[in-house]
Structure 1
């Protein structure tokens, strides 16, 4: 019967190469979508997780028969799952009212689990999981954008010197275009050598059926509203 605490160098190489392959597949999808954690990041996470799993299972085989020594093959794996959270948190960004990077952080966490599974010799489970991850990131993203995504929200910044007149014109314009006005924030701003102005932060919602052209036409008409000095959108 083969010693469960021994592994050949060939099998170590196979597991490490498989971790690079599976991590690279997920990373390639993330790279194509221009996310922060892309091709190399996912490979390194999966490869590192695999190495730590191999170390946890086989790296201390010499101490198995020592008295008062308990070998737990899952001890380093638990540390990887906890530690990967710090890397994932670095990909999450909070900008204004939106949070981005959650999917990328989750993909890093799953890739680390795939690396652990490969290191432990669960080839079928790691391969199937990688396929499921790719389907989730690519195919489900297409379905979500087409059938599930709610209305899209935009932030328009307007620097105006006549707030009341600008607001009346903006409300009339949005009502004409059937655009929902979600929220308005006012902030005083005064450039040196210029009259006092107010920065309007206008949050609007466009139905998902509308493309970018309606928003661009709205911005073009806002620029010609009386009292507006500067316009940008996010």
Structure 2
């Protein structure tokens, strides 16, 4: 099957997806969370791959290949559902407290970064990564300080 995406462009998209997710995974890794660097990078890489597969099939459909009928939004739907399952798996209940929600959300977001990179929207992928890091690092620090201060009272 021919594709409209050149091999070097594919490599760039996959590298951007994995590279940006590295930052989210590194933040989780530094906090000792179970889903860290490799998990986030693999989720983003997989998401980019699936969306490029969908685009390849879409290009084949546009060229008249009758065996290739696909709605690319269904590919995104499948990716989101699968990643939601991974994210939910990172959320646990321990000692009456629920833990892992931020890690689950960051895994889900790594998928969105991968899809963005896969469709060649590097600006969106970069902005999402930057905003996610602000939320995870800066607001996480604020949240820890505020919660510990409130608990001390």
One fold, TM greater than 0.5? yes
How much has 1:96 moved relative to structure 2?
Answer: 2.6
Q: Secondary structure at the match of 1:74?
A: helix
More strand as a share of residues: 1
How much has 1:132 moved relative to structure 2?
Answer: 0.6
Preserved contact between residue 57 and residue 68 of structure 2 (Cα < 8 Å): no
Output aligned runs, 1:19-58, within 5 Å.
19-58=17-56
How much has 1:125 moved relative to structure 2?
Answer: 0.7
Structure 2 runs not aligned, ≥5 long: none
Q: Secondary structure at the match of 1:7?
A: coil
The runs of at least 4 consecutive aligned structure 1 residues that moved more than 2 Å come to: 59-64, 66-71, 207-210
Q: Who is 1:107 aligned against?
A: 106
**1:144 and 1:41 mapped to 2: Cα distance?**
25
Q: Secondary structure at the match of 1:71?
A: coil
How much has 1:69 moved relative to structure 2?
Answer: 5.9
Structure 1 runs not aligned, ≥5 long: 152-206, 211-234
Q: Who is 1:228 aligned against?
A: none
Higher RCO (C-alpha under 8 Å, 6+ residues apart): 2
Q: Secondary structure at the match of 2:151?
A: coil
Preserved contact between residue 14 and residue 45 of structure 2 (Cα < 8 Å): yes
Report the TM-score, using the length of structure 1 for normalisation. Answer: 0.60
| 1:95 partnered with 2:94 | yes
- In the alignment of these two chains, the number of paired residues is 150
Task: Say which one has the larger Rg.
Answer: 1
Report the TM-score, using the length of structure 2 for normalisation. Answer: 0.89
More helix as a share of residues: 2
